[in-house]
């Protein structure tokens, strides 16, 4: 039996989580669910964006599913804090082309490995009315750990056998200097994996001009975040971008997207990023066969192009596309 914590959050987080639960209910797996609160609505109700009970629940579960949260003025981000609490230091964001989705290139297939615990997402900002300072800590320990994950992934993927380190060490000489040095230190343990490193600004362009160059990209917290939305745009948008946050003890799975207030409440959010994140969770739990079947089913439904949400050019509702995926799967 697997104990799963479900945190829907706000906005389309609630809608796409309904899809994930609908799917999980139809699988022949022994799952038990606990429901945790977090986000903007949770703050209005409880005075905190991430209650202690939610953290405890997630820590004691086998895995956690997170929808999305709307940012709360003056309050810390619940998802960033939850990642820290669970020490899920590696944020894995696979990006690949889907047949039937018109994009600038075919056959895109890479994964972004984003350092999840430090960098500019410390949320430690201070100063006065006239000047504010944001803390950006980069440690050798975390940089080596995340590089090691990236090299392990490249060996396992067996595609281009390459890891690209993305940084800005020409300007952030000390902090990103540490990140880059750590990357090349770890690279010595993986002599069969090719390496390259680019500045983040150039990478933002290369992703558009030469997306097939990439296999595994490793970067710091903010750069990894920005590049993953750009990369999602390369293959059809945030509706097709899942993620898994992995640590030594915990796994937290969520779509790359946020709460999308512009479409929330309309029932038209693309459920695929949440469903693909759920497949990543099942893979993490050891249910490889069903995880892989879910991925292939999403590919088939998208390729058929009959039941698609508006972001993919269709006019189906979130639950209609979900039902179509589940019907194809079972
Ligand atoms: P967003 O990711 O919510 O939306 C960006 C754009 O993508 C919007 O046009 C939205 O409609 C579209 N989109 C996103 N997911 C989609 C889906 N499944 N189907 C169809 N279209 C989709 O980012 P935005 O608008 O910058 O932020 C909205 C709120 O979400 C903010 O309060 C932000 O702080 C929060 N946020 C939360 C995250 C999380 O909980 N992990 C991550 C990113 C943002
Ligand atoms: Mg983001």
Domains of the chain: 1-94+242-330 (3.40.718.10), 104-234 (3.40.718.10)
> In this predicted structure, what is the pLDDT of residue 142?
96
* Arithmetic mean of pLDDT, 40-44: 98
Which tokens hold the place of 161?
């056998």
Predicted confidence band at 212 (pLDDT cuts at 50, 70, 90)?
Answer: very high
> In this predicted structure, what is the pLDDT of residue 170?
98
Write the pLDDT tens digit of every residue in 63-85: 999 999 999 999 999 999 999 99
Residues with CB under 6 A from ligand 1: 12, 16, 68-71, 79, 238-239, 254, 257-263, 269-270, 273, 311
Q: Which ligand 1 atom is the nearest neighbour of the CA of 13?
A: 40
**Top mutation candidate among 258, 262, 273 for ligand 1, by most atoms within 8 Å of CB:** 258
Cα dihedral 132/115/21/231 (nearest 10): 90
> In this predicted structure, what is the pLDDT of residue 20?
98
Distances (CA, A) of 85 to 58, 91, 103, 219: 9, 14, 37, 21
SS3 assignment, position 309: coil
**Top mutation candidate among 49, 260, 261, 314 for ligand 1, by most atoms within 8 Å of CB:** 260
Write the pLDDT tens digit of every residue in 152-175: 999 999 999 999 999 999 999 999
Phi-psi region of 267 (alpha: psi -120 to 50; beta: other; left: phi over 0): left
Tell me which residue has its CA closest to atom 32 in ligand 1.
Answer: 70
**Top mutation candidate among 79, 233, 257, 262 for ligand 1, by most atoms within 8 Å of CB:** 257
Q: Look at the block and give the residue holding tokens 């959050």.
A: 9
* Arithmetic mean of pLDDT, 198-226: 98
Predicted confidence band at 319 (pLDDT cuts at 50, 70, 90)?
Answer: very high
Ligand nearest to the CA of 93: 2
Q: For residue 112, what is the enclosing H or E element?
A: strand 109-115
> In this predicted structure, what is the pLDDT of residue 31?
96
> In this predicted structure, what is the pLDDT of residue 161?
98
Ligand nearest to the CA of 121: 2
> In this predicted structure, what is the pLDDT of residue 124?
93
* Arithmetic mean of pLDDT, 146-151: 98
Name the pTM for this structure. 0.96
> In this predicted structure, what is the pLDDT of residue 299?
97
């Amino acid at each position: 039996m697997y104990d799963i914590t479900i945190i829907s959050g706000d906005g389309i987080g609630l809608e796409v989580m309904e899809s994930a639960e609908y799917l999980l209910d139809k699988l022949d797996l022994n799952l038990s669910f606990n429901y945790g609160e977090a986000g903007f609505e949770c703050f209005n109700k409880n005075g905190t964006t991430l209650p202690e009970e939610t953290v405890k629940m997630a820590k004691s579960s086998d895995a956690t599913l997170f929808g999305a949260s709307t940012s709360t003025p003056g309050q810390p981000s619940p998802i960033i804090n939850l990642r820290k609490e669970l020490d899920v230091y590696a944020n894995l964001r696979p990006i690949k082309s889907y047949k039937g989705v018109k994009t600038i290139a075919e056959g895109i297939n890479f994964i972004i490995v984003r350092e999840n615990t430090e960098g500019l997402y410390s949320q430690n900002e201070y100063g006065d009315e006239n000047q504010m300072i944001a803390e950006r800590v980069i440690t050798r320990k975390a940089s080596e750990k995340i590089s090691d994950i990236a090299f392990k992934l490249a060996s396992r993927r067996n595609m281009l056998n390459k890891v690209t380190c993305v940084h800005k060490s020409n300007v952030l000489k000390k902090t990103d200097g540490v990140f880059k040095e750590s990357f090349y230190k770890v690279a010595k343990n993986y002599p069969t994996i090719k390496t390259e490193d680019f500045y983040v600004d150039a990478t933002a362009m290369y992703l558009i001009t030469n997306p097939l160059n990439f296999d595994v990209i490793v970067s710091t917290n903010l750069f990894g975040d920005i590049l993953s939305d750009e990369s999602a745009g390369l293959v059809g948008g945030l509706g097709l971008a899942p993620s898994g946050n992995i640590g030594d003890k915990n796994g937290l799975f969520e779509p790359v997207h946020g709460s999308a207030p512009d479409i929330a409440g309309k029932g038209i959010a693309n459920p695929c990023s949440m469903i693909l994140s759920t497949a990543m969770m099942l893979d993490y739990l050891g249910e490889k066969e069903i995880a892989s079947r879910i991925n292939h089913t999403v590919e088939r439904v998208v390729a058929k192009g009959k039941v698609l949400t508006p972001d993919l050019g269709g006019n189906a509702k979130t639950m209609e596309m979900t039902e179509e995926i589940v019907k194809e799967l079972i």
